[in-house]
Structure 1
């Protein structure tokens, strides 16, 4: 109980007090991306303790539905994303790869020691996780090659300067760049709108080689991130992140190829129905949403409403959380929309 009281006080101080003063995510998201030099792996850094490279495709054809390629370099020191039992000898050298689709058993998750299993160049042009995953970043070009036991991935992305910042502060940058893609999943040719993502974080975990004790981990305890392609040119990013009941990020980013990004913070998210809990490979339960609802408003105008039904396999691997897909219906600027969306879900809120 004392731990939760302390973490609630810390969440209130950081999220309500400090974050609004230093976070420039809304302003930066409405401008072209002009900082490619920040995209580095920081694998030998003790200043930037965590880096993240990700490539996400939300609407592959059936039966795949989506593709995620998510990597973390370093341990975060947060409740949301750390799996201490997978930590390298030095927790700061831990890296993970999570990739999956909704088809069959196509789910890959593995932890690595960055200094024995991986190879990264400082400019991110060559990132290698054993023989499993290669990502080459030379903006505006990104190439992804995955060779997993269950499936193969080959994608080329043409990254635009249309950026969405989830966080932009002196100690944490987390951004997404709209990125048309083409390639293959297995032998199936695919193309459309994807997203290339990058983050770098200064974390207290960088001070010690041992995993941060549970009582000292940052108390982020709920996270959902969802990607929807409303049509072949329009992509929506929906985010809800919380810490002991405080909202750290609840935003809707709307990107249309060739236009300025729109960002909305009058956003409401709710789970309208839960199903049986998810149980991970160590017996830990997590609440499983079955139906969800989003509402996005701009002043008195309704921009977007969505009702989603979770109807794809849940893939364990987002730290202690999951990725999956859902079918949605709704309205976009008063016009009906429907389709399939990508969802990430981590819920470790105290009960």
Structure 2
């Protein structure tokens, strides 16, 4: 059973988080930094590492595996412009060095330090980053499965540093999300749809949106997290509706999966009969492959939260759809029936 709902009180006085390289049964380790709301030409920046390839459809990138899944680490460093070499694969045994305060991928990608202060670096001819990250004690627990088989959390963070792009130096800073996950190499969990969005409604107020579905299109979870640098965090897990309004033409991933990417999409969250949160989003068309088995990009948006209106140019989206095409190519009646099923999400089994 997913215990994440039990771990989201409004504020935290003390955090006791697991944060380590692969060890023991935890063969799969993920770290990520997401920084939305950046000015053009970047719009967003991410650093996503995955050590080992889990047997979960949305996270398994067959095309990135060098020889063995558990000896393959991937790092995706991207921003809105399309660049060569945004996704790299490494042999863990031959190219990587991991310990409690340093994750090094062939001296190209690196996460160093200890929570709450980290430094993240990436070096390539076209795009390099050097960022100082300070995590705040504002926790969003996405997934925590019983017996510690899989857990995934996010901390609000503040970032400041340098980006080098096409031989120009940019200073950037802002509010972001630092994430960590660890998992045992358990048998297949049939999660086939995953979307995750990060939006900074203001410099101090951040929204996270997450939906996961299985291969039968049953809802695993659909959550809204709202948090601020003052330490407040809200979780809403009832009546959180995600809808794709328009799609781009069908694409085929490097793994041979056919997928529709959202051109326009929306979220609506109701509480006690009132609309608490609403979002309408328009993709910038900058999707790029390499976020596990799917894509990452950015979007423009118009949002409403607790009676206030917001709009922005640079929301962040991760989108992976490995469901059979019959679930992706739904008619309007099917979509209406699908929304009715949101009220009764599928529970992860023990």
TM interval, short-chain normalised: 0.7 to 0.9
- How far apart, CA to CA, are the structure 1 residues paired with 2:140 and 2:94? 34
Structure 1, unaligned runs of 5 or more = 1-18, 206-216
Question: Per-residue displacement from partner, 1:139-176 (whole Å, max 9, x unpaired)?
Answer: 11011011023201111111111000111232111000
- Are 1:345 and 2:319 an aligned pair? yes
Question: Per-residue displacement from partner, 1:195-248 (whole Å, max 9, x unpaired)?
Answer: 11000112226xxxxxxxxxxx33110000100000010000000111121222
**Match of residue 234, structure 2, among 236, 259, 262:** 262
- Are 1:302 and 2:275 an aligned pair? yes
Alignment of 1:224-263 (within 5 A): 224-243=195-214, 244-263=216-235
TM-score, normalised to structure 1, is 0.85
Question: Per-residue displacement from partner, 1:50-77 (whole Å, max 9, x unpaired)?
Answer: 1101111011111100001001111201
- Match of 2:246, SS state, is strand
Q: Sort the Cα spacing of 1:104 and 1:50 in 2 relative to 1 into closer, same or farther, 3 A.
A: closer
- Match of 1:92, SS state, is helix
Question: Per-residue displacement from partner, 1:288-347 (whole Å, max 9, x unpaired)?
Answer: 211101012222332211100111311110122000000001212112110120000100
Q: Does the 8 Å CA contact 2:265/2:280 hold for their aligned counterparts?
A: yes
- How far apart, CA to CA, are the structure 2 residues paired with 1:38 and 1:48? 11
Q: Does the 8 Å CA contact 1:29/1:164 hold for their aligned counterparts?
A: no
Q: Which runs of 4+ in 1 moved over 6 A?
A: none
- How far apart, CA to CA, are the structure 1 residues paired with 2:10 and 2:113? 23
The aligned counterpart of 1:182 is: 160
The aligned counterpart of 2:33 is: 55
Indicate the RMSD between aligned Cα atoms, in angstroms.
1.8
The aligned counterpart of 2:58 is: 80
The aligned counterpart of 1:201 is: 183
- Match of 1:162, SS state, is strand
Count residues in correspondence. Answer: 316
- How far apart, CA to CA, are the structure 1 residues paired with 2:270 and 2:298? 24
Q: Sort the Cα spacing of 1:280 and 1:67 in 2 relative to 1 into closer, same or farther, 3 A.
A: same
